[in-house]
Amino acid sequence: MSEFQQLMQGERPVVLDLFAEWCGPCKAMRPILQELKHRVGDKAVVLKVDVDRNPAIARTYGVQALPTLLILKQGQVVWRRTGVVDAGQLHQALQPFL
């Protein structure tokens, strides 16, 4: 099992940001995700995946627009949004899974 798969299947929830370097809204998510990571610390994994470098992951999660944000708990997608989401919304969506 790859390190990515281990993270996805782990006990801690995973906030997965599926992005591309050329995507303007994706760039706006960088400081938002940093703020979220600061808020939740080690209670959750915050992970960015470049869909251009990892097309299989993009296919696995059916990414059709960027950025796509997912929250996974033990491998299951429990929340999904497309577009820029502010840190407060992300934190609130993550709370039930911490």
Residues classed as catalytic: 23, 26
CA distances from 11 to 17, 19, 35, 37 (A): 19, 24, 22, 17
Closest CA to 14 of 78, 82, 73, 89: 73
2, 61 contact by CB (below 8 A): no
